[in-house]
Structure 1
Amino acid sequence: MQSLKHLLIESIKEKGRITFAEFMQTALYHPEYGYYNSKREQVGKQGDYYTGPTVYRIFGELLARQLEEMWRLMEKEPFAVVEIGANKGWLCCDIIQYIMNAYPEFYNKFHYIIVESNPYAREKQRLLLESIEVADEKVSWHTYTEDGFSFDKIHGCFLSNEFVDALPVHRLKLENKVLKEIYVGYNGKKFCEIDDDVSLPALHCYLETNNINLDEGQVCEINLGAADWLKHVSEKLDKGFMITIDYGDTRDRLYHENMREGTLRCYHSHTVNRDYYERPGEQDITAHVDFSNLINAGRSVQLEETGFIQQAHFLIALGILERFQETKYNTDTTLKLKNLLHPEAMGEIFKVLIQHKNIKNPQLTGLRPLQSVIMSTR
């Protein structure tokens, strides 16, 4: 988008350079031209990538099962689900429709909050929800800014599906045994990278606190916003759960020698590239989630780890194999379900982290050992 590119160039000329985090923030979240605030189709066949809810509705139905169990663990009190960034509303629609039909008692105690700043996406979500005749009082829309969420405290569950990976990151590298930050400059023809001193003391603290030691020439991404986001989640979650579904891993796996170039990627028309500075505002930019950071940052704000597993494990524990049996003669559906589980698709690359607050030792079906699932199906 030429207008956004012009804004980025002007910002660089004014400051001399900008951090990659500022470049990414502008490219994705500029209120008028940013990727996530545009009318561009982002997800699905006409977009740039697929997510679990776009593959098959069973994803939302299985999440609904887990949410209903959480509600029962919380003694069937009024329960709010807060979804961060609902795109067109597929996941929201699948969850609500399943709860409406399968759990009428839960539906009566249930409210869905969509956190969405894009007016175009909000309208798409409203139209989709109207198609399943959801009562107006069951859904509300709110926003999230650096000051936090725009709603009051809740009892219930926050749900983040592919949100954390798109939070802006700083890029660091070890060069001649000295830690440097990778900035974005402009040479008169194109964006370019500039290595210089680290911009924030918090970046040094992040590496030291988390005991991260880079090899010579290794590049890494640091997401400082994730800890602030979890702090705001905890401020609004009086009692309940946080479900984070995203691609990434624990720290020991993210920083091994095979990740020397970092995990930053761009998605455009269902292709993956590392052309970070091409098409600003027209392609997604993401980095793998450091789940160790989410676990540790959560503990510091009273969000205790309930469990951390691969997406395939989570879905199998909630009953997706039963759906395989139900659809074994439907090739198209079976292939879609396999995509949610396959190690080279979404099954192992995507992880599920569940955290809880003010609930003592919750035991969730989605986190149960797979051995118990196998035994119960015999």
Structure 2
Amino acid sequence: MNTLPTPSDLELAHSQGLIELIRAEILAQGPMPFSRFMERCLYAPGLGYYSAGRTKFGAAGDFVTAPELGSLFAQTIADSLMPCLRQLGPESDFVELGGGSGAFAEAAMRAFSDARTLPRSYRILEPSADLRDRQRERLKNAFPDALFNRFEWLDRPPEDSWRGVLFANEVVDALPTTRFCLREGEVFEEHVVVSSRGEFEYQDRPADALTGAAVRHIERDLGSPFADGYRSEVLPQLPYWMQAVLGSLEAGLALFIDYGYPREFFYLPERDEGSLVCHYRHRAHADALILPGLQDITAFVDFTALAEAGNQAGFAVAGYASQARFLIASGLANRFEQSSAGADEVGCYRLAQEIKRLTLPGEMGEKFNVMLLARDLPEAGLPPGIADIDQGFRL
């Protein structure tokens, strides 16, 4: 922690409130599964990282997402999804999971409006009351009432049948993950306990049936068992989560963008400490037990598991590619030309830097991947050129 910026007294007081909440639960109920600890750290009402009011995105926050770099990302994604909206007609809806600062929604809605391909509604499923307020204020200031009134905020995924597009950028990595390890061939699950000094520390305990089955499924798929001592992450609840968010989408597309790998690369033998990453003021580290409520906690995504969960929910994988390949195939260069036309030297430089961050292998270009899941959608509704870049064979 001494390599990280020092939190303010106010931040430390906020974190202490969450520490006491988690500590009391552990003392009352026993060792806490890491997935529960991560859920408390991120989403505890009023105290969790995403539930409290601290700035999270951009230069003043802890990390930068693609929509925060500028409008090119959202515009290009919107372009790729317009064939689906046109195919499904004016009754189609757009659902964004986790709207962040509202930057994506603003740029995407402008692109839809300019192309006269507006969804009937633009719904944002946002569990954070603070972020919801920020999104609403931003979009209210950005659009006339006729467009702003198309926005809706959801507390839970749509329950009634609908048609359209579901979009999730950097959402799956923030799902509370289960941490497992192997000991003498047996599966153990990582828990959090309170030490004699009153501090949080890890403790491995025999895994329950659901976690054990999930790990054994991975081993069978990989064709070999994990070595003793191997530690990583798994999302046993992913199929249930996918059914919850996609079950009512009767026709359309779901587009997921996140950092991660196909399974055979996710669980490489040398990646034996997993992929857990924490972010605090643009510093990345792996200690999830410090600064509860002040830092983001994420894990890379097993895209093979995402495809399996999509299949179980009734969707087919319509495309899988790196973010760079997908954005380029979807017309990123055209969007750059349109935005840079008439821009001054500073503006052109900013746009060029945005392109680099989005596409270079050392930046987001290869680290992030795009998965398209489709149900009851004609081929004409898919993003143009997706078949040419599809790397679904890697899953």
Alignment TM-score, normalising by the size of structure 1: 0.91
For residues 5 and 188 of structure 1, the distance between their equivalents in structure 2, rounded to whole angstroms, comes to 15
Residue 231 (1) aligns with residue 243 (2) = yes
Partner Cα distance (1:307, 1:323) in 2 = 22
Q: Secondary structure at the match of 2:137?
A: helix
For residue 375 of structure 1, what is the aligned residue in structure 2? none
Pair 55,178 (structure 1): closer, same or farther in 2 beyond 3 Å: same
Aligned to 1:367: 386
Q: Per the alignment, in what secondary structure is the counterpart of residue 82 of structure 1?
A: strand
Tell me: CA distance 1:27–1:303, structure 2 relative to 1, closer, same or farther (3 Å): same
In structure 2, give the amino acid aligned to 1:335: Q
The answer to whether residue 110 in structure 2 is matched with residue 97 in structure 1 is yes
Deviation at 1:64, TM superposition (A): 1.1
Q: Residue 174 of structure 1 contacts residue 180 of structure 1 at CA under 8 Å; is this kept in 2?
A: yes
- Alignment deviations for residues 280-322 of structure 1 (CA, whole Å, 9 cap, x no partner): 1110000011111111111112111101110000100011123
Distance across 1 between alignment mates of 2:182 and 2:43: 29
Q: Is the 8 A contact 1:43 1:51 kept in 2?
A: yes
Tell me the distance in 1 between the aligned counterparts of 2:48 and 2:309: 28
Match in the other structure for 2:253: 241
Question: 2-side partners of 1:237 and 1:194: how far apart?
Answer: 40
Counterpart of 1:206 in 2: which secondary structure?
helix
Q: Pick closer, same or farther for the CA change 1:71–1:325 going to 2, 3 Å.
A: closer
Match of 1:123 among 133, 145, 153: 133
The 3-state SS of whatever aligns with 1:365 is: coil
Match of 2:174 in 1: 166
Matched to 1:195, the amino acid is D
Tell me whether 1:54 sits opposite 2:68 in the alignment. Answer: yes
What is the aligned partner in structure 1 of residue 189 from structure 2? 181
Residues 1-378 of structure 1: pairs in structure 2 closer than 5 A: 1-74=15-88, 76-101=89-114, 103-104=115-116, 106-107=117-118, 109-134=119-144, 135=146, 136-144=148-156, 149-189=157-197, 190-198=199-207, 200-210=208-218, 211=220, 213-325=225-337, 327=340, 330-361=348-379, 363-365=382-384, 367-369=386-388
Q: Between the two proteins, what is the percent identity of the paired residues?
A: 28
SS at match of 2:149: helix
CA contact (8 A) 2:319 2:387 kept: no
Q: Distance in 2 between matches of 1:320 and 1:66?
A: 10
Deviations 1:198-230 (A, max 9, x none): 1x2111211223325322211111112322121
Q: Note the residue ranges of structure 2 that are not aligned, 5 or more in a row.
A: 1-14, 391-395
Q: Output one character per residue of 1:134-169: Cα deviation in whole Å (capped at 9) or x when no partner.
A: 43431111112xxxx255321101111101100011
SS of residue matched to 1:49: coil
Q: In structure 1, what is the Cα distance between the partners aligned to 2:216 and 2:181?
A: 15
C-alpha deviation, 1:88, in angstroms: 1.4
Distance verdict in 2 for CA 1:325–1:138, change over 3 Å = closer
What amino acid maps onto 1:334 in structure 2?
A: A
**CA–CA distance in 2 between the matches of 1:127 and 1:241?**
28
- Report how far residue 353 of structure 1 moved: 0.4
Q: Which amino acid aligns with 2:350?
A: D
CA distance in 1, matches of 2:382, 2:132: 35
Residues 227 and 297 in structure 1, CA contact (< 8 A), matched pair in contact too:
yes
- The one-letter code matched in structure 2 to 1:98 is A
With over 3 angstroms needed to count, the CA separation of the structure-2 counterparts of 1:191 and 1:324, relative to structure 1, is same
Unaligned runs of 5+ in 1: 372-378
The one-letter code matched in structure 2 to 1:81 is F
8 Å Cα contact 2:76-2:335 kept in structure 1: no
What letter matches 2:173 in structure 1? D
Cα distance change on mapping 1:229 and 1:341 into 2, 3 Å: same
Letter matched to residue 126 of structure 2 = E
Q: Is the 8 A contact 1:317 1:368 kept in 2?
A: no
Could you give the per-residue CA deviations for residues 222-243 of structure 1, whole angstroms, max 9, x where no partner exists? Answer: 1123221210123220111100
Code of the aligned partner of 1:350: F
Report how many residues are paired.
362
Contact 2:278 2:298 in 1 (8 A): yes
